[in-house]
Amino acid sequence: MSVLVIDVGTSGVRAAVVNGDGAVEHVRHRHVLPTSPAPGFVEFDAREMADAALAVAHEALQALGPRGAVEGVGIANQRASTIVWDRATGKPVGPGIGWQDLRTVGTCLALQADGIRLAPNASATKAAMLLDLADPDRSADLCIGTVDSWIAWTLAAGRLHVTDATNAGVTGLLRADASGWASHVLEALRIPEAALPTIVDSSGVVGEAEALPGSPPIAGIAGDQQASLVGQGATRAGLAKVTFGTGGMLDLCVGPERPAFEARGPQGTFPIVAWRRHGRLTWGLEAVMLSAGTAVEWLRDDLGLIASAEESDRVAAACPDTGDVWFVPALLGLGTPVWDFGARGTLVGITRGTGRAEVVRAVLEGVAHRGADLVESAEADGDTAIASLRVDGGMSANATFVQALADATGRAVEVSPVLEATTLGAAYLAGLALGTWTDEDDIANRWSPARVVEPGRAVDRERWRAARDRALATVPELSSLQF
């Protein structure tokens, strides 16, 4: 059996076929880049995104040759990005609003006076803003959805308006127990519940992809980070992964019981729905690093110290250590555990002997220390020990960085056999519904890392925390913002 996966990221759309052995084949990709028409604004063309998804899906299916068919479809997607469209015509009524968009910060702060705490990266205030522009009196028959909803609608030729529990959980509109939409938030934002999608299982057949040959069933849907968690076989309580892309996200599988805190834990993690299957929820914790690969891009694009992201590995390896130089990757503020949007990137300990290699290595080690921050926070908020760490994303291909991560965390790092595990996770979720794989234990048993990197040296975490403290409150007015 094989599953077609459509994986919609922040900068492009990928399709691939995953067979019963977990091999990812016939990958096709198209760029769909967001735009920023004003500071803090992030938009995308939802119609272009849908067209690209259909195009790469058809290309991947055609690459199958004589077989030419799959047993099902899985969807993985960037989370919280929001689209509103006309139910009758299927046409978006405005731009898609990206998850990074910050134009509704004021609305989020105003809602706190009413006891409603929403983050500007969640979908809730984005949806309300789009409705205020396109349907101020709330009389039109519109659909509101995150990217998974939009892609499912597109594949089902307008016959399906759904979202899975992982995506619903990051909208800011879901009840704390994930039992349905939160009426008090909908009322405060004047969002009609009838416009929202039906919440479905992450693994389960929800409809047919009529826009594809043979109309295969849509059987798996998950937000990108939860899909990566499943794709790396972290489907048992206590298993965790970190995806190091532009930012970094640690996700820890907790189990059937929801974490005790409602919004944010004492160490800055968030409860998430890891997946829903047969109507039963599996919960997780998420810890967030705002800058990871962004720091390497800064070395390349702004400082010109490296010609490519890949070169950072070779340059950093040219020196045995940083020469006591410390870099705090807070280019966009700091997330877990301190959550300071006014923190800024900091490079300390520079001497006359500090050279290119030491700076590049300090950046990689700084991102690794932030990874250790996430691990420690998840362990504390989740009251569990993370024995080893699974990693994917672009930085997982960097040997110097992975070794630094093992050193900073003091535990083995297991590198994913596929660079982007989201595709594999969406395939697993669809395959569970179709009988390709039996259960979560079957998925866990399939984990086979490309390599395992053990800690090689002790590192001074106290020195790291001292450097991190120096990055805090650089922009005090932003540091005062809490969501």
Where along the chain do its domains lie? 2-224, 233-415+450-483
pLDDT at 66 over 90: no
Task: Give the integer Cα–Cα distance in Å for 278 and 281.
Answer: 9
The CATH homologous superfamily for domain 2-224 is ATPase, nucleotide binding domain (3.30.420.40)
The string of pLDDT tens digits covering residues 101-139 is 999 999 999 999 999 999 999 999 999 999 999 999 999
Under the banding of pLDDT at 50, 70 and 90, the label for residue 233 is: very high
The string of pLDDT tens digits covering residues 397-447 is 999 999 999 999 999 999 999 999 999 999 999 999 999 999 999 999 999
Find the range with the poorest average confidence among 63-72, 316-325, 416-425: 63-72
Same fold, 2-224 and 233-415+450-483: yes
Give the model's pLDDT for residue 400.
Answer: 98
Contacts of 422 (CB under 8 A, 6+ apart): 7, 9, 76, 224, 227, 228, 231
Give the model's pLDDT for residue 65.
Answer: 82
- C-alpha closest to that of 419 among 310, 331, 336, 329: 310
DSSP 366-409: HHHHHHHHHHHHHHHHHTS---SEEEESGGGG-HHHHHHHHHHH
How many percent of the chain have pLDDT more than 70?
A: 100
Under the banding of pLDDT at 50, 70 and 90, the label for residue 69 is: confident
Task: Give the integer Cα–Cα distance in Å for 88 and 86.
Answer: 6
Give the model's pLDDT for residue 262.
Answer: 87
What is the pLDDT averaged over residues 244-266?
95
What is the DSSP secondary structure assignment for residue 416, as one 8-state letter?
P
Average pLDDT of every residue of the chain: 97
Under the banding of pLDDT at 50, 70 and 90, the label for residue 343 is: very high
What is the pLDDT averaged over residues 292-306?
97
Q: Classify the C-alpha dihedral 53-192-180-204 as positive or negative.
A: negative
* Side-chain-side CA neighbours of residue 124 (13 Å): 28
What is the pLDDT averaged over residues 158-167?
98
Beta bridge partners of 161: none
Under the banding of pLDDT at 50, 70 and 90, the label for residue 232 is: very high
- C-alpha closest to that of 107 among 196, 44, 188, 9: 188
Give the model's pLDDT for residue 6.
Answer: 98
Give the model's pLDDT for residue 162.
Answer: 98
The string of pLDDT tens digits covering residues 358-397 is 999 999 999 999 999 999 999 999 999 999 999 999 999 9
CATH for the stretch 233-415+450-483: 3.30.420.40
Give the model's pLDDT for residue 78.
Answer: 96
Give the model's pLDDT for residue 23.
Answer: 94
Give the model's pLDDT for residue 1.
Answer: 83
What angle (nearest 5°) sits at the alpha carbon of residue 169, between those of residues 122 and 46?
A: 55
